[in-house]
Structure 1
Amino acid sequence: MRMMRVRWWVVAAILYLLSRWMRHETLSIILSFLSYPRMVFDMHLSSLRSANVKTLWEDDVHPHYVMRRYVEFTASLIHLNVDYGDGQLEMNSERLLMAVDNLIMKLSTQFRKSKLQSVFLINNYDMTISVLKEAGLDGGKIQMHFEDVLKSQTSIFVIVEFIAVLVKVVKAGNQDADMEFIFHFILT
């Protein structure tokens, strides 16, 4: 048997090329791993932005399942970000917040009555705040946003209901009995 003599520089070149290829693959794996969270956010955002409101809409004022999934996902992200304070994650969370808020507003417009629209929004915002608090987290800007919109929607609902009662009183003409109801409504 004849042994083939291999020059040392050929082996060195092969080893060098192999090590370069391995570093390139490792680098590409690391880069893809680092870009994965961004890809997940982008997929969620495009899903919310391209959602068909007519297929998602249900004639029910209970909190919508999309909102429930959003708030659970957000709560988990906030929980993971507590120790790190990643600004990129906060920015992406705000982008996600705007997209889901836009979707919920579109879903609420599917109700014909403004009272049902307000009740739908109030239920969704209240559920969102409850889940964030239940997770034992300080929701920060996201929780403050939902608390603010909950207050405004509750105010709108109360004003609309109060005006409806006033209209009924004026139409009925029986002011003595209905005035007691109005004062009771105002005080409670």
Structure 2
Amino acid sequence: DRVANLLWPRLKMVMDAQIRSVRGANAKRLGGAELHAHYVSRRYAEFTASVLLILNKGKRLGAAAGGPPVPPVGGAPISGSSAHSSSSAEKATSSSQPAAAIPAPPSHRGSAGDMLVSDLSLLADETVRLLERMADEHSTNKRRIVFLINNLDQVLTVFQERRVSGREVNRFAELLRQQRELFVEEELLQGFSKMIAFVQQTEAHLNRG
């Protein structure tokens, strides 16, 4: 986390300002009446990708300088088999060397990188809430869903372009999946409302019988 620690004061200042800006944003003034993706979602995705690039580059530099290998921030979790192999290797090392000869790995808990990751999670929360407030400006539920789909898709597109992986991608991919399911339900209700009502009434009648 050397790079993150060096840039921490400035990064923290920018991050806090970004969170305050998103939290206090007025949905009406932002003009979210159109269905296409809004610049708010692109701004969030570009900002997040840039911060993660700084953090991951700092971790790679730390590993190259002789520090322990650290997985990329936001990267995929270590699988059970990998964890088992790592544990076996540690046991083999401890059996062949005195305990005092094995240096303890430095702790990254509470580091600048960890705090930035926590702030990124908070920023994601506030951005999703802002997009939902902007979606509420639309007149119909279908338009609200379409607006959210377009913006969530834009976030994922930027992440893909910037090669962001891990929890950020997974989170927005899940939100996009949920909105797409709601869109399908909305389409079915509009086109087959009578049939759906009949099926629901029939199922309820059969359950009672």
SS of the equivalent of 2:32 reads coil
Give the letter aligned to residue 159 of structure 1.
E
Q: Compute the displacement of 1:137 (Å).
A: 2.6
Equivalent in 62, 70, 73 of residue 47 of structure 2 = 73
Aligned pairs (5 A) from 1:6-155: 34-83=8-57, 84=59, 85=73, 86-138=113-165, 140-155=166-181
Structure 2 distance, partners of 1:145, 1:58, is: 23
CA distance in 2, matches of 1:164, 1:75: 39
- Partner Cα separation in structure 2 for residue 58 and residue 94 of structure 1: 23
Secondary structure of the structure 1 residue equivalent to 2:190: helix
Aligned to 2:37, the other structure's residue is in SS state coil
Which one is further off, 83-92 or 52-61?
A: 83-92
Residue identity opposite 2:9 in structure 1: S
Query: How far apart, in 2, do the equivalents of 1:43 and 1:36 lie?
Result: 11
Which residues of structure 1 form unaligned runs of 5+?
1-30, 171-188
Structure 2 residue runs without a partner (length 5+): 60-72, 74-112, 197-209
Give the TM-score normalised by structure 1. Answer: 0.69
Paired residue total? 140
CA distance in 1 between partners of 2:160 and 2:168 (Å): 12
State the shift of 1:167 in Å.
2.5
Write the letter of the residue equivalent to 2:43.
Answer: R
**Pairing 1:163-182 to 2, within 5 Å after superposition:** 163-167=189-193
Please identify the structure whose Cα radius of gyration is greater: 1
Residues 82-91 or 103-112, more deviating: 82-91
Q: C-alpha displacement at 1:57, in angstroms?
A: 2.4
With the length of structure 2 as denominator, give the TM-score of the two structures.
0.62
- Letter matched to residue 27 of structure 2: V
SS of the aligned residue for 1:79 comes to helix
Residue 164 to residue 89, structure 1, CA distance change in 2 (3 Å): same
Report deviation, 1:33: 6.3
Q: Is the 8 A contact 2:32 2:135 kept in 1?
A: no
Question: CA separation in 1, counterparts of 2:20 and 2:180?
Answer: 30
- Paired residue for 1:156, among 182, 188, 193? 182
- Give 2:162's aligned amino acid: A
Higher relative contact order (Cα pairs below 8 Å, separated by 6+ residues): 2
Per-residue CA distance 1:38-91 (angstroms, 9 max, x = gap): 111111111111111110123211111111111111111112211425211211
% same residue: 30
Deviations 1:22-42 (A, max 9, x none): xxxxxxxxx996422111111
